[in-house]
Amino acid sequence: MSTNQSSRRTFIKQSGAGAAALAAAPAVLAAGPSPNDVIRVGCIGLGVRGGTLNRLVTRVEGVRVDYVCDVYKPHVEKGVRQSQNPNIKTTVDYQEVLADKDIDAVVIATPDHWHSKMLIDAANAGKDVYIEKGWTRTIAEAKAMREAVKKNNIVMQLGHQSRAQPAGVQARELIEQGILGPITLVRVGRMENNPMGKNIWRWYGWYDKYDHPDPNQVIKELDWNRWLGSLEKRPFNERHFWHWRCYWDYGTGIAGDLLSHEIDFVHSVLRHGIPSSCVCMGLNTLLHDDREVPDTWNTIYNFDEHDRQVTFMCSMNSAELGQPPEFRGKDAVLRFDQIAQSVSDFEVVPERKIPRYGDKIESGELKAGEPMLKFDPSKTEVPTHMDDFFNCVRSRKKTQCNEDEAFVEAATILMSVAAYKENRCVKWDKAKEDFV
């Protein structure tokens, strides 16, 4: 790290109301930052999710997007429009962003096959990092990423916004108080559906756009070889570019995109770490459109130390009556209202046959099958996930979803991929930090 960058970091850390007061503030940065107190950000990857993150960054007080980077010209142009900075810099080479001594942090939202290299390079350049889920594609990559973050003492946030949902935070507090009794089963799921011909992950630039761009124009505006990165060179494939989640080379399918959200949320509530073992079955049931990854994915995790099992089910061909996070205890059940990243409410329903609450049901104090407790939004306030990241950039504290939490996420989702591909029960070796 250069002397100039080091001094900028020191200034950012010490500015405002102080690190301790800042960490306590629920959803804001230091009040009234001066023009010299701006956190300068480079956004790397401006596609579907990257464009959304770019907009979110511009809304954070005391933060400015100074650089946008993408290998596809229309994405760069979108980033320029969104950044609201007349002096914005642009590039197709993320290394130029990392080499800029004035950039304090980067937001990475590229296809997953770039995550490991970009994060490690950013850490070695002394940049704090907000990076999208799933964290990466292999355990070896996850170990190297965690080491780079710790070695360079950077702040890192993995993009699991469910960590910042007040309902989830309040549920964790209630569970820690023992309101459910021993939790033996947790059920989560992601149910998606679209008309045939508008299949999940087959959009072009946004979730509801299915108009096919002219591939001849796309290749003129895309640096295809740079997009491939370290992968084996191959002719331009527009389906791989637009729909990379459908292919194993670039990501981990349902595991990295959907399971990661749900399983990270469960971990954030229960703090139970990496599963002891995993089995998984996947199948392409209807979406036979040359995708390699299954459209249906069912995973079971055992947590032996906690006498607990967690199940995840996913279909891309059925959306009604989904499976929001559901925590089943011996004494009561806590069920949320929506998928993990969107939870906004929950209710707690008592078990009628268990004395702890059953006696109150018999007496009429509680009603069988009806909630005895619901989420109270007045009791819990937390910063947004992006605010938490920039709060920590200033305070140098750990983020909600830091490198250690990210490693748990990566190991958990990759266990399901290994179990599916190898058609076996995969177990976790704590000492080796690897699958056996």
- Tell me what pLDDT residue 10 has: 45
What is the pTM for the complete model shown?
0.91
Regarding whether 50 and 40 lie in a shared domain, the answer is yes
**What is the average pLDDT across 337-366?**
96
Check which CATH number belongs to the domain holding 334 and give it.
3.30.360.10
Regarding whether 361 and 268 lie in a shared domain, the answer is yes
How many other β-carbons are positioned within 10 Å of the β-carbon of residue 91? 18
Characterize the bridge pairing of strands 89-91 and 308-315.
unpaired
Question: Could you tell me which residues come within 8 angstroms of residue 186 by beta carbon, excluding any fewer than 6 positions away?
Answer: 266, 270, 308, 309, 310, 311, 325, 326, 327, 328
Question: Could you tell me which residues come within 8 angstroms of residue 369 by beta carbon, excluding any fewer than 6 positions away?
Answer: 349, 352
324, part of any domain:
yes
- Tell me what pLDDT residue 6 has: 44
Answer whether residue 425 shows pLDDT above 80.
yes
* Cross-strand partners of 278: 301, 426
Is the bond preceding residue 181 a cis peptide, omega within 30 degrees? no
Assign residue 334 a region (left: φ > 0; alpha: ψ between -120 and 50; beta: otherwise): beta
Regarding whether 394 and 295 lie in a shared domain, the answer is no
For residue range 270-296, list pLDDT tens digits in order: 999 999 999 999 999 999 999 999 999
- Domain of 173 in residue numbering reads as 165-198+251-380+411-435
Give the alpha-carbon dihedral of 312, 314, 320, 323, to 10 degrees.
10
For residue range 200-213, list pLDDT tens digits in order: 999 999 999 999 99
Query: Structural domain tally of the chain?
Result: 2
Regarding whether 390 and 324 lie in a shared domain, the answer is no
The beta strands (E) that lie in 316-364 are given as 326-329, 332-336, 346-350
Regarding whether 267 and 157 lie in a shared domain, the answer is no
For residue range 103-124, list pLDDT tens digits in order: 999 999 999 999 999 999 999 9
- Tell me what pLDDT residue 395 has: 96
CA atoms within 13 A on the CB side of 416: 34
Regarding whether 292 and 262 lie in a shared domain, the answer is yes
8 Å CB contact between 100 and 67: yes
- Tell me what pLDDT residue 30 has: 33
In 3D space, the residue among 30, 29, 36, 31 whose CA is nearest the CA of residue 8 turns out to be: 36
Distance CA 375, CA 268 (A): 17
232, part of any domain:
no
- Tell me what pLDDT residue 37 has: 86
416, part of any domain:
yes
In 3D space, the residue among 365, 394, 334, 301 whose CA is nearest the CA of residue 179 turns out to be: 334
Regarding whether 170 and 315 lie in a shared domain, the answer is yes
Regarding whether 260 and 301 lie in a shared domain, the answer is yes
Mean pLDDT across the chain = 92
Regarding whether 179 and 282 lie in a shared domain, the answer is yes
